[in-house]
């Protein structure tokens, strides 16, 4: 990690401090993927739909961020309870808690 940081420009280092919102229902999916490719440090999830859909979106974001060589941090807004309720009543963070996205994605 230290080696990767040493090769980064100041712009890339500052981008690692940015954690934009991403919505589990996919309404800003394309924008979030562009930001992942641009090297943001991570995302804060809001309004999840289901653990399965959340897992798919997290996997797509992590794949988009792979060229940075740094791990993508994923957080969930829990201001209105654990992840807030999605359309089907599932909490967005249900899929994030305890590594249930699978070892390849956590």
Tell me whether residue 106 is in a domain.
no
Any idea of the CA torsion for 57, 101, 47, 19, to the nearest 10 degrees? -70
Domain assignment present for 104: no
What is the per-residue pLDDT across 11-63, written as a single tens digit (0 to 9) for each? 999 999 999 999 888 899 999 999 999 999 999 998 877 888 889 999 999 99
CA angle, residues 86, 94, 1, in degrees to nearest 5: 115
Q: Is 105 among the domain residues?
A: no
The total domain count for the chain is: 1
pLDDT 10s digits, 77-94: 877 665 454 544 455 445
Asked if residue 60 is part of any domain, the answer here is yes
Q: Residue 69 is part of which domain span?
A: 2-99
**If we measure between CA atoms, which residue out of 75, 100, 99 comes closest to residue 24?**
75
> What pTM was estimated for this model as a whole?
0.70
């Amino acid at each position: 990690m230290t080696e990767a940081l040493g090769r980064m420009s100041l712009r890339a280092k500052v981008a690692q401090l940015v954690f934009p919102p991403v919505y589990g229902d996919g309404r800003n999916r394309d924008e979030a993927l562009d930001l992942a490719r641009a090297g943001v440090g991570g995302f804060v999830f809001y309004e999840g739909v289901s653990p399965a859909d959340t897992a798919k979106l997290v996997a797509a974001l992590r794949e988009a961020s792979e060229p940075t060589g740094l791990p993508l941090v994923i957080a969930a807004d829990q201001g209105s309870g654990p992840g807030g309720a999605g359309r089907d009543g599932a909490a967005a963070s249900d899929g994030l808690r305890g590594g249930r996205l699978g070892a390849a994605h956590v």
